[in-house]
Chains A and B, each alone.
Chain A
């Protein structure tokens, strides 16, 4: 249903343009130590393309992904995204604009599931649809289909995921991320704790999203998954070892 959003975007084929992006953390409670995550990054991503972020642990990949989502505040540079036919800079947009971009344009699958305790997984997944005005019944049906596709047994649907295994929680997170089609998807190790069967499902979900024009930026430690979905690889190196 959001294909319209994608095709009505600006003539510019890039839906995401990053220029001169820098991020460092100043730890005031620890003597004002500054940790530089990355600096001066430039990258463009177009519709239907999957960009894989690659590099050793600690090289700033997750920090970069979180900066794109405005979960982290970049120190310099811009992140311009096509949002409802407009160009929005996530690095400087006001909070309400960022929330609108997250609601309609940019989805994010984090490494960990963070939800209100005691809410059932069916509710967690369906909420993404009801929040957009979809009626409860069709939202629950779609949520159920997505959970079934990710092999979450139906007897767990009415339970809250707090007691689930890491892999099950991860799949709830993926179901929630993919239940809507966002023009831009950010994926932080979506297959990290999954078995081979579920990895295949996630690869299929990513392929389907690309096929309808979604731009994807992801961290995939699993080489087979990366080879299957990535069109391009963006290398991260720890700072101090040359960029």
Chain B
């Protein structure tokens, strides 16, 4: 977030009594976005999944997409992750070499490289993101092998390192995920995704199926990893408290459209749109 140093200067355009000579800083063009989405629309038959979505994601930024079930947030996440093409609109991604790709026009080779080395996808249900018949160590090592690592000792070393980073005991390395609790499975899925040092991770309700005590621990872990690895994250959640604790910015969706966007704490503490106000006023007070 070193944006300010390189910040672009723009003249004051406010209608306030401040002298017009004052230069106001903003960071709009300080560094290129990692992902830029313009006019993305998706229809399932004639039913609208999402409509006219514009958004930008910057390096190191956690962006939460919130809304009720059926609001189109998972559709949007899957579109952005290139899992199926939108009916209209464009999604651009800037890779580690600074090359800009339209993710719906990728060659198969580039697509595979991005999926294996630059992106991760954490599913709500760990069973969708893990291979349940392969050991925990194998689940982590497999991802590294896909990136071209073949040295068994190094693979096992990385697997052990990542198990400890997600607080799974080293002696569980040879167990299958099916022998793990739900919270451990989710942490293993996160390790499997992060071992290859991705730049962008898509997360679909990562704390959704967990009981609250496990959820708190996982939130803390995710926050630390995001910071240490300077990850960008697109996080879908219906839980506004999770969004507040993890995300820098948030997008509120209703019926496939964005109704409000801004700083997480501002959207939650001073919601402007009627729908956001309804969502926020429905949060249970503990």
- Which A positions have Cβ atoms within 8 angstroms of B? 17, 19-20, 25-29, 42, 66, 70-73, 76-78, 80, 83-84, 86-89, 91-101, 103-104, 116-119, 131
Whether B249 contacts A95 by the Cβ 8 Å rule is yes
Q: Which residues of B contact A93 (CB under 8 A)?
A: 24-27
Instruction: Tell me which of B4, B14, B249 contacts A97 (CB under 8 A).
Output: B4
Q: Which residues of A contact B273 (CB under 8 A)?
A: 28
Bound: A114/B204 CA distance, A: 24
Whether A20 touches B16, Cβ cut-off 8 Å, given contacts A71-B269, A97-B7, A100-B3, is yes
Q: Which of B204-257 contact A (CB under 8 A)?
A: 213, 216-217, 219-220, 223, 227, 245, 248-249
| B164 CB–A CB distance under 8 Å | no
15 A-B pairs with C-beta separation under 8 A: A28-B273, A28-B274, A29-B277, A72-B270, A73-B272, A86-B7, A86-B23, A93-B26, A94-B27, A95-B263, A96-B3, A96-B248, A100-B3, A116-B216, A116-B219
- Which B positions have Cβ atoms within 8 angstroms of A? 1-5, 7, 9, 12, 14, 16-18, 22-28, 30, 58, 61, 213, 216-217, 219-220, 223, 227, 245, 248-249, 262-263, 265-266, 269-270, 272-274, 277-278, 281
Bound: A21/B285 CA distance, A: 31
CB proximity of A76 to chain B, nearest CB, Å: 8
Whether A20 touches B1, Cβ cut-off 8 Å, given contacts A27-B277, A73-B266, A98-B263, is no
Whether B266 contacts A116 by the Cβ 8 Å rule is no
Whether A100 contacts B1 by the Cβ 8 Å rule is yes
Q: Which residues of B contact A119 (CB under 8 A)?
A: 220
Main secondary structure of the interface of A (DSSP, over half): mixed
Whether A118 touches B213, Cβ cut-off 8 Å, given contacts A94-B28, A96-B27, A97-B7, is yes
Bound: A70/B263 CA distance, A: 9
Whether B265 contacts A84 by the Cβ 8 Å rule is no
Q: Which residues of A contact B17 (CB under 8 A)?
A: 19-20, 42
Whether A73 contacts B270 by the Cβ 8 Å rule is yes
Whether B27 contacts A71 by the Cβ 8 Å rule is no
Whether A118 contacts B24 by the Cβ 8 Å rule is no
Bound: A96/B22 CA distance, A: 21
CB proximity of B93 to chain A, nearest CB, Å: 19
Q: Which residues of B contact A20 (CB under 8 A)?
A: 16-17
Whether A71 touches B16, Cβ cut-off 8 Å, given contacts A86-B25, A95-B263, A97-B26, is no
CB proximity of B58 to chain A, nearest CB, Å: 6
Whether B269 contacts A116 by the Cβ 8 Å rule is no
Q: Which residues of A contact B7 (CB under 8 A)?
A: 86, 97
Instruction: Tell me which of A19, A78, A88 contacts B25 (CB under 8 A).
Output: A88
Whether A96 contacts B58 by the Cβ 8 Å rule is yes
Q: Which residues of A contact B213 (CB under 8 A)?
A: 118
Whether A29 contacts B281 by the Cβ 8 Å rule is yes
Most chain B C-beta atoms within 10 Å of own C-beta, residue among A25, A27, A86: A86
Q: Which residues of A contact B23 (CB under 8 A)?
A: 86-87
Bound: A36/B9 CA distance, A: 33
Q: Which residues of B contact A66 (CB under 8 A)?
A: 269-270
A23 (CB) vs chain B CBs: closest residue = B270
CB proximity of B187 to chain A, nearest CB, Å: 15
Q: Which residues of B contact A25 (CB under 8 A)?
A: 270
Bound: A27/B270 CA distance, A: 10
Bound: A165/B64 CA distance, A: 32
Whether A84 touches B28, Cβ cut-off 8 Å, given contacts A20-B16, A78-B18, is no
